[in-house]
Amino acid sequence: MGRVQWKGSALLAPVPPALVCCRADGEDNVFTVGWTGIVSTHPPRTYISVRPQRHSYAMLRKSGVFTVNLMPAALWKTIDYCGIFTGARVDKFARTGLLKAQATKIDCPYLAQSALCLECRITEVLPQGTHDMFLAEIVAVSANEALLDKAGRLCLERVGLAAYAHGTYFTLGKPLGRFGDSAKKKKSAPQGKTQTAQTQTAKTQNANLSDKGKKAAPQSRNARGGAPAKKTGKKR
């Protein structure tokens, strides 16, 4: 099968369509970010890429903090709305019904409807072209309690998170497996059960062979291969 090639472009998908909250000079705003991800595990660091022309850009520069909110796929139209309309003219919280809550480690709101929230403190701003990359340390994480199982494990599959790919919103599908599954060794049966199974198999095979022998046993013939020898009173 052939391949089609284009010039270099920002075509890496899917990405999480996250809602980012910021605050500056008493004003709160929420906007959609598609360019976001993890850049380091220890220390935990993330990034968001924002155009300098956006209303929230100056707010981020001034405050130095923001929250990243992962939303249920059911709110995809709200996510879309927050990426189209500017907070300079519209109160997006009022228009969409998004509820604000106060972050615990930074002076910034987060969204009460979010499945997961990352509280972030900006460490560096790197101009990249059309967007500036805001590198940030993740100082706190909060999640909806309904997403925890009995062991306290976070189960994001319960949410139905949204994904964004080349202008289209999707909902994530069913789980295929977990990290490390490809390296797991297949479990072998316990030795006792294996021996029992082997013994039973051997008995079955012997019984089958015995039955076949009985059905296929030929009548005795004379040494020359003629008709069966007739019984006589003489001993040979």
The structure tokens listed for 87 are 């907070």
Beta carbons within 8 Å of 148's beta carbon, 6+ residues apart:
154, 155
In a domain, residue 197? The reply is: no
Mean of per-residue pLDDT scores for the chain: 86
- Indicate the pTM of the whole model: 0.77
Q: 197-215 pLDDT, tens per residue? A: 555 655 655 555 555 555 5
Token pair, residue 50, equals: 């924002």
Q: Tell me the pLDDT tens digit for each residue of 11-58.
A: 899 999 999 999 999 999 999 999 999 999 999 999 999 999 999 999
Evaluate whether residue 42 is within a structural domain. Answer: yes
Residue 225 falls inside a structural domain: no
Q: Nearest Cα to 166, choosing from 34, 59, 74?
A: 34
**Would you say residue 9 lies in a domain?**
no
**Distance, CA of 35 to CA of 43 (rounded, Å):** 20
152 within domain boundaries: yes
Rounded Cα distance between 147 and 117, Å, is 13
Taking 80 as the threshold, does the pLDDT of residue 218 lie above it?
A: no
> Is residue 216 one of the residues assigned to a domain?
no
pLDDT exceeds cutoff 60 at 142: yes
Residue 222: predicted pLDDT = 47
Give the pLDDT confidence score for residue 235 in this predicted structure: 43
Structural domains in the chain (count): 1
Identify residue 31 by its one-letter amino acid code: F
CATH of the domain at 71: 2.30.110.10
Q: What are phi and psi of 114, to 5 degrees?
A: -70, 145
Residues 148-192: tens digit of each pLDDT:
999 999 988 888 899 999 999 999 888 889 899 999 888 766 665
**Tokens standing for 183?**
């390296």
**Within a domain: 235:** no
Residues 6+ apart with CB under 8 A from 119: 65, 67, 103, 104, 105, 106, 108, 110, 138, 139, 140, 141, 142
62 Cβ contact list (under 8 Å, min separation 6) = 24, 25
**Which structural domain range is residue 81 located in?**
18-175
Residue with tokens 């909110």: 69
Asked if residue 100 belongs to a domain, the reply is: yes
